[in-house]
């Protein structure tokens, strides 16, 4: 099984339609099922960038080997609701989910009613997503401007609630030990960042900065603390 996260966590990159189709073709050529994690589908904030669901890329025909997962937790900031969605055209899979998982993970009726009313209100959805994208774009721009001032490289994100920042030049070596040493520096400065080793990152020294969990002013305070931690790391 191949799991594809688009928009990606932690990089914020979004796969285009051609890449999505190529991924499915490759998986099918190798006899693999593909699960597309699209939990940040409605959190694209980059100007001119559009999200393409695998369901759209394949014109609604997923077959038995392509599946989609999504949740209200990110796009709607409803992580406490614990409501997710599995969309699949594989009947055997759905029967298994109904038989074994539904009794253990069912959503309460009042929660279902509330969420149904919310997603059926198209004018409200349009206003909400427009405001959400605008606020994410502003917060991302402010966060990356501060990183630029600190000469901290980062991956240009198209979507999501975070920045994948590169702090390798403040490490004596690209190792998990050095990464965790820098992580402890950040913790001592009262800032919690997620290191690459906790995100299955390919390179030690990258850290995920979540800019959407707090307001812009608080984010600036956090980045100033990061700056102080980096100064101490040089000593």
- Shared domain for 97 and 195, answered yes or no, is no
**Strands (E) located in the chain:** 2-5, 34-37, 66-71, 84-88, 162-166, 194-195, 206-210
Average pLDDT over residues 151-166: 96
Predicted local confidence at residue 18, as pLDDT? 96
Average pLDDT over residues 60-65: 94
pTM: 0.89
- Shared domain for 114 and 128, answered yes or no, is no
Which of 76, 96, 120 is the last residue before a domain boundary? 120
- Shared domain for 10 and 40, answered yes or no, is yes
Predicted local confidence at residue 17, as pLDDT? 96
* Mean of the per-residue pLDDT values of the chain: 92
- Shared domain for 110 and 135, answered yes or no, is no
Query: Is 51 in a helix, a strand, or coil?
Result: coil
Predicted local confidence at residue 213, as pLDDT? 79
10 Å CB burial of residue 202 (0-12, 13-18, 19+) is exposed
- Shared domain for 24 and 129, answered yes or no, is no
Selected residue with higher pLDDT from 106 and 84 = 84
Predicted local confidence at residue 89, as pLDDT? 95
Predicted local confidence at residue 215, as pLDDT? 84
Q: How confident is the model at residue 6 (pLDDT cuts 50, 70, 90)?
A: very high
Which of 96, 120, 144 is the last residue before a domain boundary? 120
H/E stretch holding 24 reads: helix 17-29
- Shared domain for 37 and 80, answered yes or no, is yes
**How far is it, in rounded angstroms, from Cα 235 to Cα 231?**
7
- Shared domain for 92 and 173, answered yes or no, is no
Find all residues with CB under 8 Å of 198, minimum gap 6, and list them: none
Total domain count, the chain: 2
Predicted local confidence at residue 100, as pLDDT? 79
- Shared domain for 41 and 62, answered yes or no, is yes
Q: How confident is the model at residue 235 (pLDDT cuts 50, 70, 90)?
A: low
**Edge-to-edge strands of the sheet including 34-37?**
2-5, 34-37, 66-71, 84-88
- Shared domain for 93 and 147, answered yes or no, is no
- Shared domain for 42 and 6, answered yes or no, is yes
Q: Domain range spanning residue 227?
A: 124-234
Predicted local confidence at residue 216, as pLDDT? 82
Q: Which of 28-37, 73-82, 140-149 has the lowest mean pLDDT?
A: 73-82
Predicted local confidence at residue 201, as pLDDT? 82
Is the pLDDT reported for residue 182 higher than 70? yes
- Shared domain for 60 and 107, answered yes or no, is yes
Task: Identify whether 74 is preceded by a cis peptide bond (ω within 30 of 0).
Answer: no
Q: What is the CATH number of the domain that holds 158?
A: 3.90.1150.10
Average pLDDT over residues 95-99: 86
Q: What is the CATH number of the domain that holds 27?
A: 3.40.640.10
- Shared domain for 142 and 217, answered yes or no, is yes
Q: Which of 6-10, 55-59, 99-103, 203-207 has the lowest mean pLDDT?
A: 99-103
């Amino acid at each position: 099984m191949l799991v594809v996260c688009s928009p990606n966590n932690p990089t914020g990159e979004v796969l285009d339609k051609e890449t999505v189709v190529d991924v499915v073709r490759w998986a099918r050529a190798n006899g693999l099922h593909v699960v597309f994690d699209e939990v940040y589908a409605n959190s694209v904030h980059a100007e001119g960038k559009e999200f393409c669901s695998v369901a759209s890329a394949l014109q609604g025909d997923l077959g038995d080997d392509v599946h989609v997962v999504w949740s209200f937790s990110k796009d709607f900031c409803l992580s406490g609701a614990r409501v997710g969605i599995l969309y699949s055209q594989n009947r055997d899979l759905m029967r298994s989910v109904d038989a074994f998982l539904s009794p253990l993970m069912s959503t309460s009726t009042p929660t279902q009613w509330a969420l149904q009313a919310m997603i059926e209100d198209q004018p409200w959805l349009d206003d909400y997503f427009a405001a959400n994208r605008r606020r994410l774009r502003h917060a991302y721009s402010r966060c990356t401007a501060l990183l630029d001032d600190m000469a901290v490289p980062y991956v240009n994100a198209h979507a999501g609630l975070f920045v994948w920042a590169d702090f390798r030049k403040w490490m004596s070596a690209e190792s998990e030990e050095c990464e965790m040493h820098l992580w402890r520096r950040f913790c001592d400065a009262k800032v919690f960042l997620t290191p690459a080793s906790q995100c299955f990152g390919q390179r030690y020294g990258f850290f995920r900065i979540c800019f959407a969990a707090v307001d812009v002013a608080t984010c600036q305070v956090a980045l100033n603390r990061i700056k102080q931690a980096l100064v101490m790391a040089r000593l």
